[in-house]
């Protein structure tokens, strides 16, 4: 057992977050773990004593970025050592989980490698890293590389992480579910984030109440498969996501609820009904479909065809006619023919998306897709992605234009880029710019939408409407 680093001494940590909103949430929790050890947040690696890279492994490009950033950090560290001080470098997140030992081999300047399930061990890991640094300073040789913790501990990290400390401008993330048991053949998540796990109901309700008390008026529930949520309640019953949403909607002062990211297979009748019944549940749903071809969906092991997706969309829109849909698409999965790709384009045409993310298939070692024959040439993937993105961009522009003239509630989360400008989100998650005071931060105000652009809207403040208590 190592002693913990001294609390109270003022130190600075810089956390860089890559990838999805789960990582954004995790980075905040890591800051919460480090705060009692005396770490305040720093704006740049140059001013920090500790740098944490919270990494993403979902596509090759995301992983490679980490190694180039580590190269830059090594130079900062060497410079520090020349000056007689040091920089501690930690790699967290999914690259840490998947490539732990390789990171230490490729970049020996890394002190700590910590997987997403082990963040509550950070104090011990830092203590061990400090001990190793002291040994090195004494001129002795160290066995092995840095400190590595990529186990899936038996205890849940959620039971050991401190409560969230603050809320940024009225909107907060709340992680309710992690991991995935679906094993889509392209995806590393089941390997990096582990098996599906739902947090107990009471812990979520407690965290939600604390976030609202700290100023949140919008909560976004997070999970890799958030709509597969099945958490245990204190009476031993199991709650679905729909039931949890209904309970959260009872919290006084909570104006908006969202959840992400979902799987079509887990869109239960109850959850679809919830979209029509819970006024706080925003009319926006991110529902990844990946492909419009039955053959490719099968090869991806998605467990549903294009018809099921079409039917889900129809039923959701029947419940909530103003629902905006967003999705994820992958082009160039192994074996994807021109006909398969046309099926995807047709599905997009038929459904109509308010926004979407689309990617070229990236071959991930260890996934079944990586070993499939008939990998698609890069140039063909590029051409298909360009065609799909052009169609999706048209749809997004059309959706934004359709809202011009409407007066809608906007939640202001950050200052705009120009002085005097504020940036907020519409119910459909569109970015909206207005001229307005910074006192709008963390509040909802009525805005008349006046102009539509590719990925945002401009508007005019009608009358500030305070929703928060």
Q: Which residues in the 260-299 window bind ligand SF4 by CB under 6 A? A: 263
Contact map string, positions 184 to 203, toward ligand SF4, x by CB under 6 A: x--x-xx-------------
Could you say which of ligand SF4, ligand 5AD, none residue 190 binds, taking C-beta under 5 to 8 angstroms by partner kind?
ligand SF4
Nearest distance in Å: CB 57, ligand 5AD: 9
| Angle at the Cα of 77 from the Cα atoms of 20 and 25, rounded to 5 degrees | 20
With binding defined as CB under 6 A, does residue 357 bind ligand SF4?
no
HSE-CB of 467 using CA atoms within 13 angstroms: 24
Nearest distance in Å: CB 143, ligand 5AD: 36
Q: What is the dihedral angle through the alpha carbons of 286, 289, 291, 297, rounded to the nearest 10 degrees?
A: 160
Q: Would you state the structure tokens that stand for residue 146, as one six-digit string?
A: 């840095």
Query: What are the distances in angstroms from CA 445 to CA 211, 237, 323, 461, 466?
Result: 20, 39, 21, 7, 7
Nearer to ligand SF4 (CB atom), residue 364 or residue 433: 364
Nearest distance in Å: CB 182, ligand SF4: 4
* Residues at the site binding ligand 5AD, with contacts judged by CB under 6 A: 58-59, 186-187, 288, 290, 328, 330, 359, 361-362, 364
Q: How many residues does the chain have?
A: 469
Q: Which residues in the 409-448 window bind ligand SF4 by CB under 6 A? A: none
Nearest distance in Å: CB 305, ligand 5AD: 17
Alpha helix (H) residue ranges in 352-437? 378-402
Stretch that binds ligand SF4, among 180-188, 402-410, 411-419, 445-453 (CB under 6 A): 180-188
With binding defined as CB under 6 A, does residue 327 bind ligand SF4?
no
Query: What are the distances in angstroms from CA 157 to CA 65, 151, 226, 240, 407?
Result: 27, 12, 18, 22, 43
Nearer to ligand SF4 (CB atom), residue 182 or residue 397: 182
Is residue 251 within 8 A of residue 209, CB to CB? The reply is yes
HSE-CB of 215 using CA atoms within 13 angstroms: 14
With binding defined as CB under 6 A, does residue 304 bind ligand SF4?
no
Stretch that binds ligand SF4, among 16-24, 33-41, 181-189, 426-434 (CB under 6 A): 181-189
Nearer to ligand 5AD (CB atom), residue 261 or residue 458: 261
Nearer to ligand 5AD (CB atom), residue 184 or residue 422: 184
Nearest distance in Å: CB 261, ligand SF4: 7
- Near ligand SF4 by CB under 6 A: residue from 23, 88, 117, 224: 224
* 40-62: burial string, b at 16+ Cβ within 10 Å, e else: eebeebeebbbbbbbbbbbbeeb
Q: Which residue has the tokens 């995301």?
A: 62
The end-to-end CA distance of the chain, in Å, is 47
Candidates 68, 86, 69; CA nearest to 77 is 86
Question: Where does this chain bind ligand SF4 (CB under 6 A)?
Answer: 180, 182-184, 187, 189-190, 224-225, 263
């Amino acid at each position: 057992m190592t002693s913990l680093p001294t609390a109270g001494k003022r130190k600075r940590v810089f956390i860089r977050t890559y990838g999805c909103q789960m990582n954004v949430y995790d980075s905040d929790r890591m800051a919460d773990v480090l705060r009692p050890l005396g770490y305040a947040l720093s704006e740049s690696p140059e001013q920090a004593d500790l740098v944490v890279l919270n990494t993403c492994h979902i596509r090759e490009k995301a992983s490679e970025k980490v190694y180039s950033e580590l190269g830059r950090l090594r130079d900062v560290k060497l410079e520090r050592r020349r000056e007689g001080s040091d920089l501690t470098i930690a790699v967290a997140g999914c690259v840490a989980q998947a490539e732990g030992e390789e990171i230490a081999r490729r970049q020996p300047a890394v002190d700590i490698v910590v997987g997403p399930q082990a963040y509550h061990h950070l104090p011990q890991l830092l203590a061990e890293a400090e001990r190793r640094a002291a040994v090195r300073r004494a001129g002795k040789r160290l066995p092995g590389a840095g400190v590595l913790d990529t186990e899936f501990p038996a205890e849940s990290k959620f039971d050991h992480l401190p409560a969230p400390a603050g809320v940024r401008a009225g909107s907060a993330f709340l992680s309710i579910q992690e991991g995935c048991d679906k094993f889509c053949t392209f995806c590393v998540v089941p390997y990096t984030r582990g098996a599906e796990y739902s947090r107990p109901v009471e812990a979520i309700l407690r965290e939600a109440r604390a976030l609202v008390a700290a100023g949140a008026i919008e909560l976004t529930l997070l999970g890799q498969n958030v709509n597969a949520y099945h958490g245990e309640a204190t009476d031993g019953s199991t709650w679905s996501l729909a039931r949890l949403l209904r309970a959260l909607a009872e919290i006084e002062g909570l104006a908006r609820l969202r959840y992400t990211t979902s799987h079509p297979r887990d869109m239960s009748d109850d959850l679809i009904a919830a979209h029509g019944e819970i006024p706080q549940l925003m009319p926006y749903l991110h529902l990844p479909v990946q492909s419009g071809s039955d053959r490719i969906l099968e090869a991806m092991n998605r467990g549903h065809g294009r018809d099921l997706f079409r039917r889900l969309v129809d039923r959701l829109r029947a419940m909530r006619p103003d629902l905006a849909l967003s999705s994820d698409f992958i082009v160039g999965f192994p074996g994807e023919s021109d006909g398969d790709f046309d099926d995807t384009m047709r599905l997009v045409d038929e459904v109509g998306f308010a926004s979407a993310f689309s990617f070229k298939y990236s071959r991930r070692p260890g996934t079944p897709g990586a070993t499939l024959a008939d990998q698609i040439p890069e140039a063909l993937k590029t051409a298909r992605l360009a065609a799909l993105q052009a169609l999706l961009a048209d749809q997004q522009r059309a959706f934004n234009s359709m809202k011009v003239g409407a007066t809608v509630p906007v939640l202001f989360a950050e200052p705009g880029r120009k002085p005097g400008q504020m940036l907020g989100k519409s119910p459909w998650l569109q970015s909206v710019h207005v001229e307005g005071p910074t006192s709008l931060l963390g509040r909802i105000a009525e805005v008349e939408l006046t102009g539509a652009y590719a990925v945002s809207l401009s508007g005019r403040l009608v009358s500030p409407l305070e929703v928060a208590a």
